[in-house]
Amino acid sequence: MTGEYVDPWDGRLHLESAHALYLHVPFCVSKCAYCDFTSYATAEGDARMGAYASALSRLVEEAEAAGLLEGFRTAYVGGGTPSLLGPEVLSHVISTVCAGRGLSELTFEANPESLTDGLLDACVEAGATRVSIGVQSLDDDELSRLGRVHDSARAISALDAALRSGLDVSCDLMCGIPAQTGASWADTLSRVMSMGVRHVSVYPLMVEKGTRLARSVEEGEEVVPDEDEAADRMVEAERVLGEAGLRRYEVASYADAGHACIHNEAYWTGVPYLGLGTSAASMLTAEGYLRARLVCPDLPEPDPSWVRVRLSCTSDVPAVARARGLADLAFDVEGLTSREAAAEDLMLGARMMVGIVPALAYHARATIGGGPVDSTFSHLVSEGLARMTPEGGLEPTERGWLLGNEMYGELWDLAEGTIAHSAR
Ligand code: SF4
């Protein structure tokens, strides 16, 4: 049979609307010692949260009316601590997003101190399907060193309530915490598994500049385990979670069959997404960006070479709360050429268990050139970071999981050119 080969990856570069929606809620009870995310310590019931959340609902409605969210299938309310909004405000945001749209998945993030039965019931009623809980550890000393508000007892009762609510439950855990031992880590993992959680994300603690933790490390008050120890913890996580039936599907994510986060998979597979709220990031195709310019005419004119545009909302919390529409928001804008977009997709694909699938590898060869792509693939194989699949794709090895940044860096180097930056 003959016929023209259609590049399935290329189709993603021309979608005119975002297929996934992210809403950022930048409020927390207090700032954790290691946190460099956009989040502000805010008292429960603070009226600014209500005004901000109402603005998010308005922006979602406008984005949909403008065709920016046509056919979107997943949504994620992240933070910060969305559960701090309380049952009434958070469920209102969720119901605005879900109303009559038949979404496949709506996740909201929660922290144990503000996750109550009332909030879970209200969110289920509003259409949420999934909750991701920031547990981090079930060791009280480790939690206190991280500056978390909750203790292990509160984390367990929050997990228990979430599991009873009928939502799909994900649990965030952290390794490489000061004073964490192999035994305390194994204990955290096995207690979470014994509760019946079917999705776990495991992150190594990073010491970010300007955080309280960085100062404590500089002053010698805290000692963070070295990279080898953190790598041992990651290997232990894979073993314990694997024994409980959870399979790694992304560098930091483990799930039982049917429990992977569909929304997060969009980020790693070149599917356009729209992010709303302070610091929220969007990734649009060039066509989607032209649509966004119809409602935000101050956005800079795209360069003809752009096939993908990344936007980051730079409006602060009061500015978002005051926004009557998308045109009132400010964005940083980065345009990517087809070569840069292909390199970005290779880098993101390598984060996943399925790796760089043959369709993506084909697309990258056609866009960047077979010579440079194959030589980078060969180098990654020779370094033991990846292996070729029989179908012509590339998948990470165990060493590739542990030295991911090395592999992602080499793949991104295929982009060569410079990304164009501008702001409005
Ligand atoms: S709960 Fe999360 S977002 Fe909030 S301060 Fe702690 S680490 Fe940062």
212 touches ligand 1 (CB under 6 Å): no
Task: Quickly tell me which residue has 């021309």 as its tokens.
Answer: 14
pLDDT in tens, 96-145: 999 988 899 999 999 999 999 999 999 999 999 999 999 999 999 999 99
At 227, the pLDDT band (50, 70, 90 cuts) reads confident
Q: Which one has a higher pLDDT value, 241 or 420?
A: 241
136 touches ligand 1 (CB under 6 Å): no
Query: For residue 196, is the peptide bond before it cis, meaning its omega torsion is within 30 degrees of 0?
Result: no
**CA–centroid distance, residue 108 to ligand 1 (Å):** 14
One DSSP character per residue, 217-247 reads: HHTTS-----HHHHHHHHHHHHHHHHHTT-E
**CA–centroid distance, residue 162 to ligand 1 (Å):** 20
**Mean pLDDT over each residue of the chain, to the nearest integer:** 94
0.85 cut: is pTM over it?
yes
Q: Which pLDDT value is given to residue 1?
A: 45
**CA–centroid distance, residue 71 to ligand 1 (Å):** 31
At 244, the pLDDT band (50, 70, 90 cuts) reads very high
pLDDT in tens, 30-56: 999 999 998 999 988 899 999 999 999
How far apart are alpha carbons 141 and 31 in whole angstroms?
17
Contact status, residue 107 vs residue 128, Cβ threshold 8 Å: yes
Share of the chain above pLDDT 90, in %: 90
Six-digit token pair at 166? 């009928």
How far apart are alpha carbons 419 and 250 in whole angstroms?
26
80 touches ligand 1 (CB under 6 Å): yes
> Quick one: average pLDDT of 278-287?
97
Alpha-carbon distances, residue 125 vs 92, 119, 304 (angstroms)? 10, 10, 45
**CA–centroid distance, residue 92 to ligand 1 (Å):** 23
Q: Which one has a higher pLDDT value, 423 or 95?
A: 95
The protein residue with its alpha carbon nearest to ligand 1, atom 8, reads 35
pLDDT in tens, 342-380: 999 999 999 999 999 999 999 999 999 999 999 999 999
Q: Is the pLDDT of residue 64 over 90?
A: yes
How far apart are alpha carbons 177 and 146 in whole angstroms?
8
How far apart are alpha carbons 128 and 107 in whole angstroms?
6
Q: Is the pLDDT of residue 253 over 60?
A: yes
Return phi, psi of residue 91, to 5°.
-65, -30
86 touches ligand 1 (CB under 6 Å): no
* Adjacent-strand bridge partners of 133: 110, 171
At 417, the pLDDT band (50, 70, 90 cuts) reads low
Q: Which pLDDT value is given to residue 422?
A: 64
How far apart are alpha carbons 84 and 40 in whole angstroms?
12
> Quick one: average pLDDT of 58-73?
94
Domains and CATH numbers, the chain: 18-265 (3.20.20.70), 282-313+330-424 (no CATH)
The protein residue with its alpha carbon nearest to ligand 1, atom 6, reads 32
Six-digit token pair at 34? 């290691």
Q: Which pLDDT value is given to residue 353?
A: 94
Share of the chain above pLDDT 70, in %: 97
Contact status, residue 324 vs residue 62, Cβ threshold 8 Å: no
What is the identity of the amino acid at 319? A
Q: Is the pLDDT of residue 393 over 70?
A: yes
Which candidate, 8, 11, 9, 42, places its Cα nearest to that of 25?
42
> Maximum Cα–Cα distance for the chain, whole Å?
69
The protein residue with its alpha carbon nearest to ligand 1, atom 2, reads 80
Contact status, residue 77 vs residue 107, Cβ threshold 8 Å: yes
* Adjacent-strand bridge partners of 107: 76, 130
pLDDT in tens, 175-226: 999 999 999 999 999 999 999 999 999 999 999 999 999 999 999 999 999 8
